[in-house]
Amino acid sequence: MNKIPLAVPHMSGEEQKYIQQAFDTNWIAPLGPHVNQFEANLAMYTGAADVAVTNSGTSAIHLALTLLNIQSGDTVFCSTFTFVASINPVLYMGAVPVFIDSETDTWGMSPIALSKALKDAASKNKLPKAIIVVHLYGQSCKMDEIMALANRYDVPVIEDAAESLGSTYKGRKLGTIGTFGIYSFNGNKIITTSGGGALVSNDVSQIEKARYLSSQAKEEAPYYSHSEVGFNYRLSNVLAGIGIAQLEVLEERIAKKRAIFEAYEAAFENNSKICFLSEWQETFNNRWLTTVLFEKNSPEKMMQQLAERGIESRRLWKPMHRQPLFQDVAYYSENREGSNADILFKKGLCLPSGTQLTDKKIDYVCKVLREISK
């Protein structure tokens, strides 16, 4: 059997139509009608008031922090259990991240740990200027609890929904609950524009400002005039055409991702050595990647043994507070006894979840997992 990848881009076949339109009309320049249409389609799909598409999800986070006027020396509370792209924009601003533990129901930011951190910050008169929560592997954080804390201390929330386009919390699309939300359209995401992202908000004026800043802060004038620092962060018209076609099949991709998860879960229904991330109450998970926790087996060893059988897998995110880059950064755990994020990293693995997976390949992965997890 050919190597089974973790996840690879899945084109619908309609992308070339929009790319050809861009070529036929010579809209090869960075902006154009496909960008406008992609933004409008994303706003309609998510229910957000407005959307600005960018060249990456990281750029979208950087814009959100800029719009919130984060300054050098400010603190930003961040989920520790995530990819470094969630945190790097904080460093771009000269700000200081403070890491918050996960909780075990959703693997997202722990409201208990967040409450501790906010109470401590308030006592020192140094509240964070923003909170970045990450909706991991398609699963929503406990947003009612998080937003209640954020509102109590008057701290804006940025939702990093890079992995969670199409997922919902109590009927609302993730990314539309906080002050800002971001998505990623990187090659391994549920839909892709090769590279790309989006900033969403229910504040239209803020998205308009994001478009201005992400286009080098070029002012309306008959010559090049600039009063603010800007960025070259806009998504190209050609790539936006890919995004239009990809968004058209998003619901199909979600259905397939969920079917893959259900097949894995059913295969190990009676196996106490392997457990899955459950769908938290009143949430809908796009199941971007199927993730498992091994109660007894080492995920590193399992990953190696899977690779020997032609199956690609990936460790769960190594917590940011364990990264050499952040060795001196403050961290708030949920429990005195230990860190939930550390436990998840030590136990967890991502399984092949590409939407091109056949039933035969899923069965093969399950067969191998059974053999090596005995």
CA–CA distance, 200 with 47 (Å, rounded to integer):
10
pLDDT on residue 1: 56
Q: How far apart are CA 172 and CA 155, in angstroms?
A: 21
Q: For domain 15-248, which CATH number applies: 3.10.20.520, 3.40.50.300, 3.40.640.10, 3.50.50.60?
A: 3.40.640.10
3-class state of residue 78 by DSSP: strand
| Number of C-beta neighbours around residue 99 at 10 A | 27
Six token digits for residue 79 = 């989920």
Domains 15-248 and 250-372 share a fold: no
Which sign does the torsion angle of CA 170, 174, 176, 177 carry? positive
CATH number for the domain formed by residue range(s) 250-372: 3.90.1150.10
Q: What's the mean pLDDT in 341-349? A: 98
Over residues 33-65, the pLDDT tens digits come to: 999 999 999 999 999 999 999 999 999 999 999
Degrees, nearest 5: CA angle 309-4-248: 165
Pairing assessment for the beta strands 157-160 and 290-294 based on DSSP bridges:
unpaired
Q: Is residue 95 a contact partner of residue 318, using CB atoms and an 8 Å limit? A: no
159-213 pLDDT, tens digit per residue, is 999 999 999 999 999 999 999 999 999 999 999 999 999 999 999 999 999 999 9
**What is the pLDDT, as a whole number, of residue 29?**
81
Instruction: Give catalytic status of residue 189 as yes or no.
Output: yes
Mean pLDDT, residues 121-142 taken together: 98
- Rounded CA-CA distance 23/18 in Å is 9
Q: Where are the domains of the chain?
A: 15-248, 250-372
Residue 336, pLDDT score: 86
The model's pLDDT over 78-92, given as tens digits with 9 standing for 90+, comes to 999 999 999 999 999
Q: Report the pLDDT value the prediction gives residue 285, as an integer from 0 to 100.
A: 98
Single out the residue of 96, 45, 23, 43 nearest to residue 286, CA to CA.
45
- Pick the catalytic residue from 189, 209, 256, 361: 189
pLDDT tens-digit series, residues 106-125: 999 999 999 999 999 999 99
